[in-house]
């Protein structure tokens, strides 16, 4: 829809009539896109190219605002829309650490700037999080405990769709992008579109009465599957407990107990590989190795030097790189790995022969030596061995700001009060914050397209988390582009040529 139709009366009245209960009629007015001000901005990209766009900012996306600092969104419309009225909307969440985020403006150094340059409409919503508070009757109220951050993004999406006739681009092509806790939100938004579990919450907030489905989810290193992440971490990294990890005796007991719970979980997923073989706890590590081998292999193909000293990858024959440079870190202008300019890539005759296997334990020790591992339990840590809450304990906390455990395991292992139970409300919150619970064959709540990345040396969560997410999505019939980029730590919005090439391909269909 083009901008000159903002005040087109027929469209406005049609939208107001279309507003269903429980919103009041004047709530519908509040949710209409009618910005009083816009500004013209020029963003200079790292390539020095100037990208001109119009900014519409500080727009409230719910009728019942609880936290005015965070419950707003910004919309950015490039001068040239790449697909006219059918231009996709690139929605970037800046949630990190399960914390609140304000609505931000585009950055030349991440995917938002690139999206504008490529002619996409960009939306950047704020959202409440573990640290957002308001003061009520002299009391501090925590407003962003789970699932409120997720609800805010859903409400922002509903706002875009509700105003689809008024906002340039199409809400039927929303692509959500996030990193880490933001990657988890992207996965949740992408799996829970229009799920009834969220209806009551959203209607209480005064979210627009329309669909919150998205077209595609981009998940960089999603910190998700939180209620299984501890066991997945220990099952994978337990091999380092007596080596590089330096755990004490008590920690090793916790680690071993957690690891012992993981096989039953892996087997319960009933995942299958590309050849339809069942993936079980017995063959899972071989499955994981296929992704790491593909990653190392691609890096070699692209001219990356993988030193023998990390002792991880065995070559059938050591390639001679003839002095090709290691990555220079500046390939796409954002510190992403650039594995050497394409023209300098070594020509392999039989590329698939070079990486034959990985000694997984050694490789995991290498990962742990680059960034020290989390101590067990890695996520639901509060009250188990130490009393320090993690971001996850905080986001599952209550309105008074008291953190909470979110696994039966950690509750049982609390130092002081190990008889506490999760309770029905908390169990429901934990359930709806796990995207794995919403993926089934051709589920209508699930976005059709997925781009998932987790760095091959990212230890913030176990490799099992992104692999299970990607595999379950693929097994359920969805389009999944998944990779563990070599030598990547915990990070997002890298290799933007890859990402935007993929976005171009899915939005052309």
Task: Write out the residues near ligand DHB by the rule CB under 6 A.
Answer: 96-98, 180-181, 223, 391, 460
Nearer to ligand DHB (CB atom), residue 116 or residue 258: 258
Q: Is 253 exposed, middle or buried (0-12, 13-18, 19+ CB in 10 A)?
A: middle
Nearer to ligand DHB (CB atom), residue 192 or residue 461: 461
Least CB distance to ligand DHB at residue 180 (A): 3
The answer to whether the Cα torsion of 395, 192, 222, 476 is positive or negative is: positive
Residue 125 near residue 91, CB atoms below 8 Å = yes
Least CB distance to ligand DHB at residue 26 (A): 37
Least CB distance to ligand DHB at residue 451 (A): 18
B/e letters for 453-491, b = 16+ CB within 10 Å, e = fewer, are: bbbbbbbbbbbbbbbbbbbbbbbeebbbbbbbbbbbebb
Least CB distance to ligand DHB at residue 149 (A): 11
Nearer to ligand DHB (CB atom), residue 96 or residue 325: 96
State in Å, rounded, how far the first CA of the chain is from the last one: 20
Least CB distance to ligand DHB at residue 96 (A): 4
Least CB distance to ligand DHB at residue 459 (A): 9
17 membership: H or E segment, kind and range: helix 9-17
Give the span between the Cα atoms of 254 and 248, in whole angstroms.
Answer: 10
Residues 6+ away with beta carbon under 8 Å from 109: 46, 333, 334
Give whole-number Cα distances, 366 to 78, 180, 186, in Å: 44, 22, 29
Nearer to ligand DHB (CB atom), residue 378 or residue 439: 378
Least CB distance to ligand DHB at residue 205 (A): 23
CB atoms near residue 158 (< 10 Å)? 24
Give whole-number Cα distances, 19 to 30, 52, 140, 147, 454, in Å: 11, 34, 34, 25, 41
Q: Which residues pair with 72 in a beta bridge?
A: 60
Phi, psi for residue 23 in degrees, rounded to 5 = -70, 140
Least CB distance to ligand DHB at residue 448 (A): 26
Give the span between the Cα atoms of 127 and 144, in whole angstroms.
Answer: 8
Least CB distance to ligand DHB at residue 190 (A): 17
Nearer to ligand DHB (CB atom), residue 87 or residue 491: 491
Give the residue ranges of DSSP H helices in 302-396: 360-370, 391-395
Nearer to ligand DHB (CB atom), residue 174 or residue 184: 184
Phi, psi for residue 274 in degrees, rounded to 5 = -55, -30
Nearer to ligand DHB (CB atom), residue 88 or residue 97: 97
Least CB distance to ligand DHB at residue 185 (A): 10
Least CB distance to ligand DHB at residue 21 (A): 37
Closest listed residue to residue 435, CA positions, set 67, 126, 184, 172: 184
Nearer to ligand DHB (CB atom), residue 76 or residue 98: 98
Residue 411 near residue 418, CB atoms below 8 Å = yes
The residue whose Cβ lies closest to ligand DHB is 180
Give whole-number Cα distances, 129 to 83, 109, 319, 435, in Å: 34, 24, 48, 18
Nearer to ligand DHB (CB atom), residue 61 or residue 220: 220
Nearer to ligand DHB (CB atom), residue 234 or residue 460: 460
Nearer to ligand DHB (CB atom), residue 64 or residue 369: 369
């Amino acid at each position: 829809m083009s901008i000159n139709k903002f005040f087109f009366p027929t469209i406005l009245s049609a939208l107001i009539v279309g507003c269903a209960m429980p919103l009041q009629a004047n709530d519908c007015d509040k949710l209409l896109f009618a910005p009083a001000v816009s500004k013209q901005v020029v963003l200079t990209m790292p390539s020095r190219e100037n990208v001109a766009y119009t900014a519409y900012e500080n727009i409230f996306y719910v009728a019942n605002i609880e936290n005015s600092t965070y419950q707003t969104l910004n919309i950015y419309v490039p001068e040239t829309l790449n697909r006219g009225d059918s231009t996709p909307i690139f929605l970037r969440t800046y949630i990190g650490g399960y914390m609140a985020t304000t609505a931000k403006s585009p950055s030349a150094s991440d995917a938002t700037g690139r999206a504008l340059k490529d002619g996409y409409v960009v939306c950047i919503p704020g959202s409440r999080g573990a640290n957002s508070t308001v003061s009520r009757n002299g009391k501090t109220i925590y407003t962003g405990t789970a699932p409120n951050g997720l609800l805010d993004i859903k409400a922002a999406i509903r706002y875009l769709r509700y105003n689809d006739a008024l906002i340039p681009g199409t809400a039927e092509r929303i692509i959500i992008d996030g990193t880490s806790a933001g990657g988890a939100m992207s996965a949740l938004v992408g799996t829970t579109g229009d799920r009834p579990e969220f209806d009551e919450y959203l209607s209480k907030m005064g979210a627009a009465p329309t669909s919150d489905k998205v077209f595609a989810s981009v998940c960089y290193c999603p910190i998700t599957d939180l209620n299984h992440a501890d066991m997945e971490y220990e099952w994978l990294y337990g091999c380092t407990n007596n080596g590089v990890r330096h755990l004490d005796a008590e920690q090793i007991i916790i680690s071993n107990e957690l690891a012992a719970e993981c096989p039953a979980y892996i087997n319960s997923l009933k995942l299958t590989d590309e050849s339809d073989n069942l993936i079980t706890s017995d063959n899972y590590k071989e499955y994981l190795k296929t992704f790491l081998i593909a990653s190392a292999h691609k890096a070699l193909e692209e001219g990356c030097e993988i030193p023998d000293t990390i002792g991880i990858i065995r070559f059938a024959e050591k390639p001679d790189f003839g002095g090709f440079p290691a990555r220079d870190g500046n390939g796409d202008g954002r510190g992403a790995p650039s594995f050497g300019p394409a023209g300098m890539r070594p020509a392999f005759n039989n590329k698939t022969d070079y990486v034959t296997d990985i000694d997984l334990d050694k490789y995991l020790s290498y990962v742990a030596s680059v960034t020290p591992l989390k101590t067990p339990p890695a996520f639901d840590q509060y009250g188990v061995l130490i009393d320090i809450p993690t971001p996850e304990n905080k986001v599952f906390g209550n309105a008074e700001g008291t953190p909470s455990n979110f696994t039966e395991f950690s509750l049982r292992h609390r130092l002081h009060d190990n008889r506490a139970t999760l309770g029905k409300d908390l169990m429901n919150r934990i359930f709806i914050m796990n995207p794995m619970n919403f993926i089934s064959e051709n589920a209508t709540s699930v976005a059709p397209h997925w781009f998932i990345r987790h760095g091959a040396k990212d230890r913030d969560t176990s490799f099992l988390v992104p692999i299970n997410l990607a595999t379950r999505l693929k097994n359920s019939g969805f389009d999944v582009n998944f990779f563990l980029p070599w030598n990547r730590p915990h990070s997002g919005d890298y290799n933007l040529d890859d990402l935007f090439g993929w976005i171009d391909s899915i939005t052309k269909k």
